[in-house]
Structure 1
Amino acid sequence: MAPRPRSPRGSGEQLADEIIAATTDLLMELGSGDAVSIRAVAQRVGVTPPSIYLHFQDKDALLDAVCAHYYERFDDVMMAAGEGIDYLWERAVAQGIAYVRFAIENEVVFRTTFARVTEAGEPTLTDEVLLSSAFGHIRETIEEGMATGLIAPGDPVPVVMQVWSVAHGVACLMVTKPGLPWGDDLSTAEGVMRAVCTGLSQVPVNWEHSGSDVR
């Protein structure tokens, strides 16, 4: 390993970004967080292992930072999924499908993100990002449904967790068991999302309302 030149004062944030970038590359190359080591990251960046620990407490914290950085783009994905869809239930399905598609297209990060157990009251960086993206956008949809009478009024959080859990369950199965007969598209995921939305609705759901293909 070629020694890294001494960093100028105030460059700690830049080094942290380089560490995250190097870890991301290794994670994608190796396909598993278990296969990534602090020593390998240090070699990739050109620093000593203790330099990594100046910025990240341990490997879990480093992988959490990588996943959080990766999921920051998910907010735009969720916004784009519901954009231009006026019918609330079609929008909810589109958001669920966006969640599933993102998981499939970024399966290494998805598996790494949810391999770590989070204790109550101790959210990780990735938890906080997901709460502001996946949870936040689904909550907006559920609150609109309650305001318009499509969903029974009350605390939106349990309803959001139901919808999120369904989308996550489908995503997890499709990522970890791709050999199951899912078909060539996301029609199974769409059917599951439509089923949960139909169950939540206080009025009959018209799935032909928008005529859109959310897949």
Structure 2
Amino acid sequence: MKAEPTGPAGAATSQGGRTRNRRGEGALLRDEIVAAAERLLEREGNEEALTLRSVAREAGISAPSIYTHFADRDAIVEAVLDIAFERLRLLVLDAVGSVEDPVQRLLAGCHAYANFGMDDPARYRVLFGRQRADRPAIGSPKDIGELPEVWRHRLDSFMVLVDALAECVKAGRSGSTDPFADATAVWTSLHGAVTMRQFIPGFPLPPLGATVDDLVRRIALIRS
């Protein structure tokens, strides 16, 4: 039997001469593709910069190599979305983790969310500003459990907000009778505060920190 040609360090190559991935290296290449897409997004500041050619060039591979791991450009964007949602969740959890007072914990999580939007505008716009054909419709709390698993995971950072408001109610520090609905109103208002500052940067808005405090205290019916 004819021996299969080998590349550097004994790695098997295809008939066309391209070095094949060793066992287990496919996942590594996938991660490199996603990392390249993240770098492009951060550097260029908009999702339009993510094309198959640009991502492949950034990763140092040929464009056809991407198809082994991603069906198309949108699949790469979805992978970037997963990482960004997880990053947001960890930022919120880190902000609230050592805070004992329930009101201050709620405020800390909301400040972390707003700061993420202002500090990382490109990723924020990909998370909450792009049109999605499969976007989930959330009509009431019971619908959360009916969402696809990927969206349940992506909403984990929002559920931290819901839980924080529920703790305020439990401690007698909030007059909310529906923490889920009121947390949704807080989230919507925070999103508006962030996007107003991103898209109308010269408008004389009050400082973001003061805005977050005011919105949360009023909408979550916080009792001092």
TM over 0.5: yes
* CA RMSD of superposed structures (Å): 2.6
Residue matched to 2:75? 61
Normalised by the length of structure 1, the TM-score is 0.78
Q: Structure 2 regions of 5+ residues with no counterpart? A: 1-16, 138-145
Q: Is the 8 A contact 1:97 1:167 kept in 2?
A: no
The 1-side partners of 2:207 and 2:170 are apart by 37
> Could you list the per-position Cα deviations for residues 62-106 of structure 1 after superposition, in whole angstroms to 9, with x for gaps in the alignment?
112113213322233212322443332232222111110011111
Gaps of 5+ in 1: 207-215
Normalized against structure 2, the TM-score is what? 0.75
Alignment match, 2:32: 18
What secondary structure is seen at the aligned counterpart in 1 of 2:155?
A: helix
Corresponding position of 2:154: 130
Max Rg structure: 2
Matched, 1:31 2:55: no
Per the alignment, residue 215 of structure 2 pairs with: 192
> Which residue, out of 94, 99, 106, partners 1:80?
94
Map of 1:181 onto structure 2: 204
Whole-Å Cα distance in 1 between the matches of residues 197 and 213 of structure 2? 13
Instruction: Show the counterpart of 1:210.
Output: none
Cα distance, 1:143–1:192 mapped onto 2, change above 3 Å: closer
CA contact (8 A) 2:176 2:182 kept: no
1:116 partnered with 2:131: yes
Percent of aligned pairs with the same amino acid: 29
**Are the aligned partners of 2:111 and 2:212 in contact in 1 as well (CA < 8 Å)?**
yes
* Distance across 1 between alignment mates of 2:80 and 2:24: 22
